[in-house]
Amino acid sequence: MPSILSVENIEAGYSDVIIVHNVSITVGEGEIVAIVGPNGSGKSTLLKSLLGFAKLFQGQVFYQGRDVTGMAADKLVSQGIGYVPQINNAFPNLTIAENLDMGAYHSKGKASIKSAMGEIYNMFPELKVRKNFLAGNLSGGERQMLAIARAMMAQPKVLLLDEPLASLSPKPTSVIISKLENIEKAGTAIVIVEQNIKKALSISKRGYVLIDGACAMEGDADSLFTEESSRLRYLGLEAKGN
């Protein structure tokens, strides 16, 4: 499978503190890749560093074979890389429709934006019925859905999701997972950073396990999940009762 996004030997962090150490990741076209690991392992920092929201000390980022290291986040979005932060991922003072409008900011022409919005409303009918509601009034699950929908408005070829299932109860978690599967079926690659290891690996094709900022394991999601050593040593599933 040709790679759509690859990051090589990334070292990233904040101020002068390096949190992510020499991590390399490859994402194929249309596949879901999970980056899992315990709290504080550098998963979110890795994602943020790709868009310039965390400091990139070293390494390179390639998108569709082109070096996009250090490119501004708004340019990356226009190139086809979507990003959904873990928190503060919707504009609370804007309505749902306006949030979606902002997702298509770089798109030219009202017709293409209208068409993209139509597709998004088909994918997220829950948002259409409340399109004039302020995002600040939405529940956690609805807001997460809006955040993903906003990123999808730019019609990305790869979508970077930072803990989309965090703090969600089981029902909205299932809804979000089903939406992600639909997005994958539509051909968009997804990188999902999650602490909910079981859920993340269950929808992913491949995965990476980050421990203390370094890549401890990588491979097929199934093998990562079933491998006894990883379950015990890294994923901590027994300890969490999963």
Contact residues for other proteins, defined by CB under 8 A: 51-53, 72-74, 77-78, 83-85, 88-95, 98, 101-106, 134, 136, 150-151, 154
Cβ closest to other proteins, residue 1 vs residue 72: 72
Close Cβ partners of 144 (under 8 Å, ≥ 6 residues apart): 89, 164, 168, 172, 176
Return the H-helix or E-strand segment holding 128.
helix 125-128
Cβ closest to other proteins, residue 51 vs residue 209: 51
DSSP 8-state code for residue 137: G
> Sign of torsion, CA 124 157 165 95?
negative
Cβ closest to other proteins, residue 48 vs residue 206: 48
Classified as helix, coil or strand, 19 is strand
Shortest Å, Cβ 67 to other proteins = 20
Shortest Å, Cβ 208 to other proteins = 22
Cβ closest to other proteins, residue 110 vs residue 171: 110
Task: Count CB atoms within 10 A of the CB of residue 166.
Answer: 15
* Side chain identity, residue 95: T
Shortest Å, Cβ 214 to other proteins = 26
Output the six-digit token pair for 73: 């986040």
Cβ closest to other proteins, residue 37 vs residue 103: 103
Shortest Å, Cβ 50 to other proteins = 11
Question: Which bin fits 158, alpha (ψ -120 to 50), beta or left (φ > 0)?
Answer: beta
Half-sphere exposure at residue 18, Cβ-oriented, CA atoms within 13 angstroms: 12
Shortest Å, Cβ 100 to other proteins = 10
